[in-house]
Chain A
Amino acid sequence: MPKPVIERVAKATPASFARRVRGFSDRTIAWIFVTPTIFLLLAINIFPLIWTIRLSFTNFRVNRINADVKFVGLRNYERILSDPDIWQTMQATAHFLFWTLFFQVLIGFALAWLINRKFRGNDLWTTLIVLPMMLSPAVVGNFWRFLYQPQIGLFNYVVGFFTGADPASFSMIGDVSLAPWAIVIVDTWMWTPFVMLICLAGLRSIPDYLYEAAAVDRASKWRQFWTITVPMILPFLMLAVLFRGIENFKMFDLVVQLTGGGPGSTTELTSINLKREAFEKWRTGYASAYAVILFVTVFGLASIYVKALNRVKER
């Protein structure tokens, strides 16, 4: 903690703001309280971001200490945006995002709706359902690779048991058509509870009198669901989608442990691809441009989404 800075700030603060004679003034306290946080965030979040932007215009490579660093203008950006492989990873990411959100919202909402029946023991079952999202995605993802093994893996065996298929006849992470679903399944398993909890909070926030009034009006259950439950829960659902969306756009640990981006590049999500460029090929400048593009994308999409969310909330 940079003490001198704080003291300087304290000294510079006009005494007229002081609320009390004894001790620091409120203003000083505010500064003392906020400065370390701002300092740390500047050092570890903002400064690196600016550095990344600067690097993105160069051909710098971390593993070439002796090479000249040249300013290459927008060349890195041009190359990334015209690279068909990168568009393919974007597609893989979009597929992953769409289907994980779809299933998590569907199952998460259904579960919340059921749990809201307040049956006995719902507390315990909810806790069990929540377990996966508390665990380390890398460790769990690594183990799911084992569960997905043909023959010896539990997943294939269970699927085989219920469908009659031979557990050795399909490979969830080795088959091009199945691998994108393999990662969707694990992510859904892990994060459905998050959507469920938020939906549950939403459902519990709906005042009972709305339903009672609707019942007096003899509105059918179906109608009540669409005119009361859905509109009331929509802001909550959208919020859950926002958080899961941002998280899954950043997805790295779970998928890297599950498929490593394979087979071929079928499940090579943007973060995995970026890691290859930055920390396997060590093309730092190029990877920085890639990082900036990703950040702008997620920031832009999130901002648009938040605007839409606010409109829904206002209604």
Chain B
Amino acid sequence: MERLKLLTVSALTLGASLSAGAAQAQQGELTLCWAAWDPANALVELSKDFEAQSGIKMNFEFVPWPNFADRMLNELNSGGTLCDLLIGDSQWIGGAAENGQYIKLNDFFEANGISMDDFLPATVTGYAEWPKGTPNYWALPAYADVVGWTYRKDWFSRPELQAEFKAKYGYDLGVPEDLAQLKDIAQFFQGREIDGKTVYGAAIYTERGSEGITMGVTNALYNYGFDYGNPENPYAELDGWVNSPGAVAGLEYYKELYDTATPPGASDWYMSETIDAYKSGQVALQMNFAFIWPGVDADPNVGGDKSGYFANPPGPAGQYAQLGGQGISVVANTDNMEGALAYIKWFAQPEIQQRWTDMGGASAMKFVLEDPAYPDRKPYNRAFLKSMSIVKDFWAEPAYADLLLAMQDRIHRYVVAGEGTAQEALDGLVKDWTEIFEDEGKL
């Protein structure tokens, strides 16, 4: 098997290097826009190969996550010409597709033998399709990501803590089997003295400004029974789904987790703050997108054997995890369409996808992820595969920003500011969303 793969790779490389001669003619520059985070640096390294092959000079514009949506949607809406290629967030696709800001890639995929069947189905739906569930592709899955958990293996394996935990909760301290156990564990560590330092339970998303708290709370909501409406009748029937008794319980769960098991001052935290808290040894558990796992593994303080990884644990209504990740799209305003498409063609090659994952990216290609050697290659790969199989995403409607901001507001007010009840928060959300869909003419 391994040999077969090697053969394929070398054959493909040969093919690529042959076709490179033709691509050499396309000179010029390309600017690729993405978020400023570790995977982006890996992409810069990876793209050197493309530059060498095509003679096109790559420029990069990376914006940190809290400002990413603001900056990039502003860029698209202002008719800017900064980006030729955009690795845009999964939820933007509806708006960008309907307003002609992205190029439709179906014909291009067909002409170049790129098949969406080669990618994980969840990522194709999440990153490439609009409308969802139809074979209309506006992006190539570029970076597979999902919310999961990191925990301090070294703390979990201390005998005295294990004994104390067993005595208190009646089961063994380990990877939580469900969300209720996760809360127990977080509360167990909250305020505990470890190696002379006060530590806390869990670092979770609570950010207000962009999308943070929504990306966090959904991991509890989904698993307790929240849904984005009746799947049979998606826009009209929100009541009873968004604010179902299960959804209310899930929201209450998240608030209790925030109130009883997070570090003080964790009221506006997203990816960077949670990483900071975890790496500085403040917390036992960390919720975060899987992109941080390579960084955690390599960290001098908490890396290697000190950390373990697991998928978002199930709740009473099932096991889901919030989808992250992005597809790569060609911006309609580009002045180098050929070059941009050549980049996507190059990027879609299996061996480039393999290198992408090896260098710290996260390919969504089956060729990479379904390789039997993959699960054991890195300590977090199993958790990643499990997580990718249970993903669920937020709305990707053109009105996604309205929907998101309404949710940010309602959830942050309840969870962090402590206003009202969970039922009121979700009832309010149903009202907000219904209004938005009315404005959109969906009702």
Do A and B share a direct contact in the complex (Cβ within 8 angstroms)? yes
Give A158 to B198 CA distance when docked, in angstroms: 20
Give A175 to B416 CA distance when docked, in angstroms: 8
Query: Contacts of A151 on B, CB cut-off 8 Å?
Result: 264-265
Give A174 to B273 CA distance when docked, in angstroms: 14
- Residue A281, interface by CB 8 Å: yes
Taking residues whose C-beta sits less than 8 angstroms from the other chain, chain B's interface range is 20 to 34
Give A276 to B198 CA distance when docked, in angstroms: 38
- Residue A173, interface by CB 8 Å: yes
Query: Contacts of A64 on B, CB cut-off 8 Å?
Result: 98-99, 398
> Distance in Å from the Cβ of B208 to the closest Cβ of chain A?
4
Query: Contacts of B413 on A, CB cut-off 8 Å?
Result: 264-265
Query: Contacts of B419 on A, CB cut-off 8 Å?
Result: 176, 264
Partner of B417, one of A85, A168, A266: A266
Q: Which residues of chain B (222-275) have a CB below 8 Å from chain A?
A: 264-268
- Residue A95, interface by CB 8 Å: no
Cβ B409 vs Cβ A264 within 8 A = yes
Q: Knowing A174-B266, A262-B412, A265-B409 touch, does A280 contact B70 (C-beta < 8 A)?
A: yes
Cβ B268 vs Cβ A260 within 8 A = yes
- Residue A65, interface by CB 8 Å: yes
Give A66 to B98 CA distance when docked, in angstroms: 8
- Residue A169, interface by CB 8 Å: yes
Query: Contacts of B100 on A, CB cut-off 8 Å?
Result: 65-66
Partner of A263, one of B76, B77, B208, B402: B208
Query: Contacts of A276 on B, CB cut-off 8 Å?
Result: 405
> Distance in Å from the Cβ of B409 to the closest Cβ of chain A?
6
Residue on B nearest A268 in the bound complex, by CB: B409
Of the listed residues B74, B209, B265, the one surrounded by the most CB atoms of chain A closer than 10 A to its CB is: B265
Give A149 to B267 CA distance when docked, in angstroms: 10
Give A93 to B402 CA distance when docked, in angstroms: 23
Query: Contacts of A283 on B, CB cut-off 8 Å?
Result: 402
Cβ B265 vs Cβ A281 within 8 A = no
Cβ A63 vs Cβ B417 within 8 A = no
- Residue A171, interface by CB 8 Å: yes
Chain A 57-98 interface mask (CB, 8 Å, partner B; 1/0): 000001111100000000000000000010000000000000
- Residue B73, interface by CB 8 Å: yes
- Residue B95, interface by CB 8 Å: yes
Query: Contacts of B264 on A, CB cut-off 8 Å?
Result: 150-151, 168-171
Q: Which residues of chain A (228-286) have a CB below 8 Å from chain B?
A: 259-266, 276, 279-283
Query: Contacts of B98 on A, CB cut-off 8 Å?
Result: 64, 66
> Distance in Å from the Cβ of A31 to the closest Cβ of chain B?
36
- Residue B311, interface by CB 8 Å: no
- Residue B401, interface by CB 8 Å: yes
Query: Contacts of A262 on B, CB cut-off 8 Å?
Result: 208-209, 267-268, 412, 416-417
Q: Knowing A174-B268, A263-B417 touch, does A279 contact B74 (C-beta < 8 A)?
A: yes
Q: Which residues of chain A (260-315) have a CB below 8 Å from chain B?
A: 260-266, 276, 279-283
Cβ A264 vs Cβ B77 within 8 A = no
- Residue B64, interface by CB 8 Å: no
> Distance in Å from the Cβ of B148 to the closest Cβ of chain A?
25
Partner of A171, one of B70, B95, B267, B401: B267
Give A259 to B417 CA distance when docked, in angstroms: 13
Give A238 to B34 CA distance when docked, in angstroms: 49
> Distance in Å from the Cβ of B413 to the closest Cβ of chain A?
4
Give A65 to B208 CA distance when docked, in angstroms: 29
Q: Which residues of chain B (401-424) have a CB below 8 Å from chain A?
A: 401-402, 405, 409, 412-414, 416-419
Residue on A nearest B76 in the bound complex, by CB: A63
Q: Knowing A64-B99, A262-B208, A265-B413 touch, does A280 contact B401 (C-beta < 8 A)?
A: yes
Q: Which residues of chain A (78-137) have a CB below 8 Å from chain B?
A: 85
Give A281 to B198 CA distance when docked, in angstroms: 41
Partner of A63, one of B73, B208, B209, B267: B73
Query: Contacts of A65 on B, CB cut-off 8 Å?
Result: 99-100
Cβ A261 vs Cβ B265 within 8 A = no
Cβ B417 vs Cβ A281 within 8 A = no
Residue on B nearest A279 in the bound complex, by CB: B74
Give A115 to B196 CA distance when docked, in angstroms: 49
Query: Contacts of A170 on B, CB cut-off 8 Å?
Result: 264
Cβ B405 vs Cβ A263 within 8 A = no
Give A250 to B358 CA distance when docked, in angstroms: 49
Give A260 to B414 CA distance when docked, in angstroms: 17
Give A149 to B208 CA distance when docked, in angstroms: 16
Give A214 to B282 CA distance when docked, in angstroms: 66
Cβ A264 vs Cβ B412 within 8 A = yes
Residue on A nearest B413 in the bound complex, by CB: A264
Cβ A62 vs Cβ B267 within 8 A = no
Query: Contacts of A261 on B, CB cut-off 8 Å?
Result: 208-209
> Distance in Å from the Cβ of B51 to the closest Cβ of chain A?
33
Give A262 to B66 CA distance when docked, in angstroms: 14
Cβ B417 vs Cβ A173 within 8 A = no
Residue on B nearest A281 in the bound complex, by CB: B402
Give A150 to B70 CA distance when docked, in angstroms: 28
Cβ B265 vs Cβ A174 within 8 A = yes
> Distance in Å from the Cβ of B264 to the closest Cβ of chain A?
5
Residue on B nearest A85 in the bound complex, by CB: B409
Query: Contacts of A265 on B, CB cut-off 8 Å?
Result: 409, 412-413, 417
User: Can you name 30 A-B pairs with beta carbons within 8 Å?
Assistant: A63-B398, A64-B99, A64-B398, A65-B99, A65-B100, A149-B265, A150-B264, A150-B265, A151-B264, A151-B265, A168-B265, A169-B264, A171-B265, A171-B267, A174-B265, A174-B416, A176-B418, A176-B419, A262-B208, A263-B208, A263-B268, A264-B409, A264-B412, A264-B419, A265-B409, A265-B412, A265-B413, A279-B70, A280-B70, A282-B77
Known: A64-B98, A65-B99, A168-B265. 15 other contacts (CB 8 A): A66-B98, A150-B264, A168-B198, A169-B264, A171-B264, A176-B416, A176-B418, A262-B416, A263-B267, A263-B268, A263-B412, A265-B412, A266-B417, A280-B73, A282-B77
Interface set of A (CB-CB < 8 Å, partner B)? 62-66, 85, 149-151, 168-171, 173-176, 259-266, 276, 279-283
Interface set of B (CB-CB < 8 Å, partner A)? 69-70, 73-74, 76-77, 95, 98-100, 198, 208-209, 264-268, 398, 401-402, 405, 409, 412-414, 416-419
